[in-house]
Chain A
Amino acid sequence: MTIDGHRNPSVDELRRALNGDRSALRSVVDCLTPVIQVRVARALLRLTPVAYSSDIRQEVADLTQQVFLALFADQGKTLRSWDPDRGASLAGFVGLLAEREVISTMRTQSRNPWSEIPMDLPDLDRAAGASSHPEAGAASRQVLDEVWKRLQSRLTNRGVQMFQWLYVDGLSVGEVCTLTGLTEDAVHAWRSRLGRLVRDIAGEVMSDSLVAERTAQERTP
Chain B
Amino acid sequence: MSRDEDLLRALSDLVRSEDPWRDPRLDDLAAGRLSPDQEQALLRELGPNAPMVEAFRPFDARFKADLADQIAASMRASPSASARGGVRFLPRRAVVLGGAAATLAAAAALILLLRPHATPDDPVPPYELVVLGGDNIVRSAPETRQARTARLVPGSRLEVRLRPGHRVQGSVALRGAVVRGADIRPWLPATEVDPSGAIRVAGTREQLFAGLPDGEWTVVVAVGREHALPADVAELVRNQPSVPGDDASVRYESFRVMLTGAGNE
A and B: partners? yes
Instruction: Report which A residues bind B (CB closer than 8 A).
Output: 4-7, 20, 22, 25-26, 29-30, 33-34, 37-38, 41-42, 44-46, 50, 53, 56-66, 68-69, 72-76, 105, 108-109, 133-137, 139, 141, 144-145, 147-148, 151, 163-164, 167-168, 170, 195, 198-199, 202
A168 to B212 alpha-carbon distance, docked (Å) = 57
- 12 residue pairs of the A-B complex, CB under 8 angstroms, read A29-B68, A34-B27, A42-B26, A50-B49, A62-B93, A68-B70, A72-B75, A75-B75, A141-B14, A164-B15, A167-B15, A168-B16
Q: Which of A20, A41, A198 contacts B56 (CB 8 A)?
A: A41
With A5-B31, A6-B31, A136-B7 in contact, is A22–B15 under 8 Å at CB?
no
Q: Is the CB of A33 within 8 A of B27?
A: no
Is B96 an interface residue, CB under 8 A from the partner? yes
Least Cβ distance of A204 to chain B in Å? 13
B67 touches which of A7, A45, A65 (Cβ 8 Å): A65
A25 touches B72 (CB 8 A): yes
Given contacts A50-B52, A136-B7, contact A20 B59 (CB under 8 A): no
Are B10 and A136 closer than 8 Å at their CB atoms? yes
Evaluate contact between B57 and A76: CB separation under 8 angstroms.
no
With known contacts A25-B68, A33-B59, A6–B74 Cβ distance under 8 A: no
CA distance A135 to B7 in the complex (A): 9
* Shortest Cβ distance from residue A184 to the other chain B in the assembled complex, whole angstroms: 20
Kindly state whether residue B98 has any CB partner on chain A within 8 Å.
yes
Contact mask for chain B residues 63-80; partner A; CB cutoff 8 A; 1 contact, 0 none: 111011011101110011
Secondary structure call for the B interface? helix
Distance in angstroms between the alpha carbons of A25 and B67 in the assembled complex: 10
In the bound complex, residues from chain B placing their C-beta under 8 Å from that of A25 are: 68, 71-72
Q: Which residues of B contact A (CB under 8 A)?
A: 3-4, 6-8, 10-12, 14-16, 19, 21-22, 24, 26-28, 30-33, 49, 51-52, 54-59, 63-65, 67-68, 70-72, 74-76, 79-81, 88, 90-96, 98
Looking at chain A's contact residues, is the secondary structure mostly helix, strand, loop, or mixed? Answer: helix
Q: Which residue of A lies closest to B6 (CB)?
A: A136
Residue of B nearest to A135 (CB): B3
Q: In the complex the two chains form, is A29's CB within 8 Å of B71's CB?
A: yes
Taking a contact as CB atoms under 8 Å apart, the answer to whether B81 and A73 are in contact is yes
Contact A134 B95 (CB under 8 A): no
In the complex, besides A20-B76, A34-B32, 15 extra interface pairs with C-beta distance below 8 angstroms are A6-B31, A34-B30, A41-B21, A41-B55, A42-B21, A57-B55, A61-B59, A61-B63, A139-B7, A144-B14, A148-B15, A151-B11, A168-B12, A195-B8, A198-B7
A29-B68, A30-B64, A108-B96 given as contacts; is B31 within 8 A of A199 (CB)? no
